Amino acid sequence: MKTINTTVFFLICCLTAFFTLHAQISLAENWPGFRGPTRQGISNEKNLPAQWSETSNIVWKTPIPGEGWSSPIVFGDRIFVTTATDEGASFRLLCLARKTGTVLWNKQVLRQKPGHKQRFNSYASSTPVTEGENVYIVAFDGSIAAVSNEGDTVWMYRDFEYFSEHGLGVSPILYKDLLIVAFDPSSSGPDTKLGWQKPWDKAVILALDKNTGKVRWEGKRGLSQIAHVSPQIMNFGGEDQLISSAGNVIQGFDPDTGQRIWTVSSPGEGVVPSVVVGGDLIFTTSGFGDSAIRVVRSGGKGDVTETHIAWESADDVPKIPSMLYVKPYLYLVTEAGVAKCFEAATGEVIWRERLDGRFSASPVWADGKIYFLSEKGITTVIQEGAEFKVLAENELNETCKASPAISQGNIFIRSDKHLYCIGNE
């Protein structure tokens, strides 16, 4: 009897350890691409720090060479971040150990021609994406590559010659076995206003086989203008749709074939904020010239401009930071520091407040808190909800334009000089 009890006790201990470990692994969330696992700036992590400074709650900080405003991504115990050195000509991918910040490798993926861009952009602004096997990058010149976890180039696609009045800022997404990139360029020819201030038909949404780099389909917008919007996947009626917006248009595509399903007119060019979805609504912004927050009901076929716009607002439209949907509210911050909360379903303004500084980074949400990171390196942490309540203001005193990443109990912030890992001490 004693032997049986000992055996049972041993088995119970083993099972308890197994399920405890499994629960910890389940709670440890990766941040595999721009704006995280849902591409919406939402994290399921708990017990994250709300307060830090240059000397407190900093687990580690690691210098990042070169220049780049891509966000870090995290998968397992590895962090990946891109940068450009040699005055932008050397496009590089770095791999860091998540727990220590040690640089495991720093590899040049390709050489690129550092052409025209706006001063607030960089030669490495596109955030990579990973599924844990390879890391997929988009370079300044439109080159696309898959890089292994050890830094070896698996494949490279360089058939799309990209030019934009702004430079490149769009980030790729993964869907099934496809790598999808929305290229919304402008003309490098005699009339540089083509595609920028004049609509044209040269934009393409490109889907590559993530294993081989071969083109699987090319989606066409029709007439549109310049943009840098990372697309989104939305399920409607049990079927997935690729939601992608650009200058002048918001559109839905079949993600398996690239066939365009519907279009909504959305005047404005130079659109940067990424698409956000919630319920049956699609939250977008238009760009310069006719700026508006434009919210579209999903579904429909063809041109649904007259039937599917749920609400619009021309006030306080962000041009760079993406919006944040946390049911039932839609939050935003403009470049000038206006923070705003809407009733997402109706567009009713719940509150409007002013934050200090200018903003390029997109806000993130975790455990009931919203983190707004300014270009000065100040993160304002507020409580989510109908009341504007500041919980903390945290200074790093370095320039920050990349959006934060959250993974496995830590917040990762890239500045112009370092990558920071922030955690509870």
pLDDT per residue as tens digits for the range 240-268? 999 999 999 999 999 999 999 999 999 99
pLDDT digit of tens for each residue in the chain (425 aa)? 344 455 444 444 444 444 433 334 445 799 999 999 999 999 999 999 999 999 999 999 999 999 999 999 999 999 999 999 999 999 999 999 999 999 999 999 999 999 899 888 999 999 999 999 999 999 999 999 999 999 999 999 999 989 999 999 999 999 999 999 999 999 999 999 999 999 999 999 999 999 999 999 999 999 999 999 999 999 988 999 999 999 999 999 999 999 999 999 999 999 999 999 999 999 999 999 999 999 999 999 999 999 999 999 999 999 999 999 999 999 999 999 999 999 999 999 999 999 999 999 999 999 999 999 999 999 999 999 999 999 999 999 999 999 999 999 999 999 999 999 999 97
pLDDT per residue as tens digits for the range 319-328? 999 999 999 9
β-strands 364-366, 42-43: how paired?
Answer: parallel
pLDDT at 119: 85
Residue 83: CB atoms within 10 A of its CB come to 21
DSSP string, 378-399: EEEEEE-SSS-EEEEEEE--S-
β-strands 144-148, 134-138: how paired?
Answer: antiparallel
pLDDT at 12: 44
Calpha distance 165→387 (Å, rounded): 40
pLDDT at 22: 38
C-alpha separations of 361 from 91, 274, 338 in Å: 22, 12, 13
Classify residue 406 by burial, with Cβ atoms within 10 Å: 0-12, 13-18, 19+: buried
Calpha distance 150→81 (Å, rounded): 14
- Sign of the CA dihedral running 343, 344, 348, 350: positive
Calpha distance 50→393 (Å, rounded): 9
Calpha distance 348→351 (Å, rounded): 9
Measured between its terminal Cα atoms, the distance across the chain in Å is 47
pLDDT at 163: 94
What is the token pair recorded at 37?
Answer: 């696992």
268: helix, coil or strand?
Answer: coil
pLDDT at 252: 98
- Counting residues of the chain whose pLDDT is more than 70, the rounded percentage is 94
Beta strands in 72-132 (DSSP E): 73-75, 78-85, 90-97, 103-111, 129-130
pLDDT at 425: 74
